[in-house]
Homo-oligomer: A and B are copies of this chain.
Amino acid sequence: MWVLILLTGLFPSLSIAADDIIWREVEPENVVFIDLFEGEIAVELNPLFAPETVEQFRRLVAERFYDGLSFYRVIDGFVAQGGDGSDLGELSLVPLIDAEFELDLSGDIEFTRVQKNDLFAPETGFVDGFAAARDISKNKVWLTHCPGVMAMARNDDPDSSRTDFYIVIGQAPRYLDRNMNVFGRVIHGMEVVQKIQRGPANENGIIQDEAASSRIRGMRLASEIPEKERLTALVMETNTKGFEKLLKNRRDRKQKFFHNKPPKVLDVCQVPMAGRIIK
């Protein structure tokens, strides 16, 4: 069992003093609880990077649009996609959402760098807890497709997101970066997401028999729940000295376990970022 001794580096509480990490309370209007038969998930929404998407998603959640719908297209190692399957759009009355693929860089956006010359971007890092990348030469910053990321499905038209969303469940499909409305991330219950029923790989993950798919029992914004009953979501602040120390410990592994010292690099999607849900 001892391989995992070295892996304490994964857990900030074990690798650095707990004091070094500052936890931020997520505003209740940015927390969504998704209740599945498999368990409960908490998602943090990101209105900074995807304001229109978040607004529409909040409205759909409040209208109970997703309750009873299922994850109808689920490809192991890739994404779990849920909704009503109406994204082609002819039958849906829900309006389309414009592309929200990236932002212009501005002084307001605090970017904690993880890696220069990442395979997919000139720089990766974190913005307010979300894995991100930026290209200073193009003045752009965007959220990266890491496991747990939530984004809107669309068709070929960049402005054709509507209701259906996917959660990344496998190795980061970074080639989707800057092409999708990424609007949230799972901060609790990723092991529940991993239990979502997969579809057949040779049918592109489509689950024909709806009864065999994982259902959404309900979705609720934390802000809809009376304050006394509401759970609080805490996430790591990434723009702090403590978080930079955590990144440094992962980048430069000094444990004698490492017979071959790994290169001093970090994959932004391999930094564990789970949040905490408390009463």
Which residues of A approach B to under 8 Å, CB–CB? Answer: 1-5, 7-8, 10-11, 13-14, 72-73, 75-79, 81, 83, 85, 87-88, 99, 101-102, 115, 118-121, 146-148, 152-156, 158, 160, 164, 166, 169-180, 190-191, 194-195, 198, 201-202, 204-206, 250, 253, 256-260, 262-263, 265, 267, 269-270, 272, 274
Contact = CB atoms under 8 A, between A and B. Distances in A.
B81 A175 contact: no
Contacts of A101: 259-260
B155 A2 contact: yes
A42 to B, nearest CB: 14
B198 A5 contact: no
A204 B160 CA distance: 42
A119 to B, nearest CB: 5
A1 B201 contact: no
A178 B260 contact: yes
Contact of A171 (B7, B83, B146, B153): B146
Contact of A79 (B4, B119, B262, B267): B4
Nearest to A204: B4
Given A4-B153, A179-B259, A174 B267 contact: yes
B88 A267 contact: no
Nearest to A155: B2
Contacts of A115: 119
Nearest to A158: B259
B13 A202 contact: yes
B153 A2 contact: yes
A120 B88 contact: no
A202 B267 CA distance: 22
B147 A77 contact: yes
A72 B90 CA distance: 50
A194 B198 CA distance: 10
A88 to B, nearest CB: 6
Contacts of A88: 1-2
A257 B2 contact: no
6 contacts: A14-B204, A120-B265, A169-B194, A176-B262, A178-B260, A191-B198
Given A179-B260, A260-B178, A81 B171 contact: no
A147 B166 contact: no
A8 B203 CA distance: 10
Contact of A119 (B14, B85, B118, B164): B118
